[in-house]
Amino acid sequence: QKEVEQDPGPLSVPEGAIVSLNCTYSNSAFQYFMWYRQYSRKGPELLMYTYSSGNKEDGRFTAQVDKSSKYISLFIRDSQPSDSATYLCAMTRTGGFKTIFGAGTRLFVKA
Amino acid sequence: GAGVSQSPRYKVAKRGQDVALRCDPISGHVSLFWYQQALGQGPEFLTYFQNEAQLDKSGLPSDRFFAERPEGSVSTLKIQRTQQEDSAVYLCASSPPTKDEQYFGPGTRLTVT
């Protein structure tokens, strides 16, 4: 079993929809949780960064962390065609160097 | 300012050849990471530097892989005697002091034929 599980999709939604992306993990030592967006043939770009449990909002993006369930989510409101990309969850332990990534979910937002 | 840059962007190597991949991190970034990303997968950690010190190389898949950062800025990932399974995108990322956020370069796509 992988340390971080993420549904690879693809997920296809109409423009304006609310998108929900999720990851589960098995290592309770993870404390830092990130979401990256990766366009084709580009490097990942950091979208959201949260520490421990709770919610964080930035514009159309909301990240949620539920450590008791070992479950993290990214919500995208009013999705746009430009949001079409692969979304990667990632996490690290306190004091750790190694970041563990999920496999990524491919999202398509149709105009 | 300039982001993380990597060169070459694309590299084709015949099986058995040695390759060297370069990473120029963001100026002032102390931490530098190398990742390997296979098609359809997330990045997998290879190694980590803090300045010139290689603090974690547990992700390097074999002793054919070697990374260095001799002056604490530019880093090189070297793969000796390349094999087909080494075909992947190699990503470099850097982080500023006291922050954990990583900033990624565009990657080097390595194809071993």
- pLDDT tens, residue by residue, A37-90: 999 999 999 999 998 888 999 999 999 999 999 999 999 999 999 999 999 999
Residues in chain B within 8 Å Cβ distance of A104? 40-42
Three-state SS for B6?
strand
A75, A64 contact by CB (below 8 A): yes
pLDDT confidence bin for B101, thresholds 50/70/90? confident
Cα A35 to Cα A26: distance, rounded to the nearest angstrom: 17
Residues in chain B within 8 Å Cβ distance of A25? none
Q: For residue B101, give the nearest of A8, A46, A102 by CB distance.
A: A46
pLDDT confidence bin for A97, thresholds 50/70/90? confident
Report the residue of B31, B45, B58 to disrupt the A interface, i.e. the one with the largest count of A CBs within 10 Å: B45
Nearest CA in chain B to A47: B101
Cα A93 to Cα B9: distance, rounded to the nearest angstrom: 31
Cα B97 to Cα B33: distance, rounded to the nearest angstrom: 14
Geometric angle at alpha carbon A106, from A102 and A111, rounded to 5° = 150
Cα A87 to Cα A85: distance, rounded to the nearest angstrom: 6
Residues 67-106 of B with CB under 8 A from A: 91, 93, 100-106
B34 touches A: beta carbon within 8 Å: no
Written as six digits, the tokens of A8 are 């690879």
- pLDDT tens, residue by residue, B33-86: 999 999 999 999 999 999 999 999 999 999 999 999 999 999 999 999 999 999
A88 to B43: CB separation less than 8 angstroms, yes or no: yes
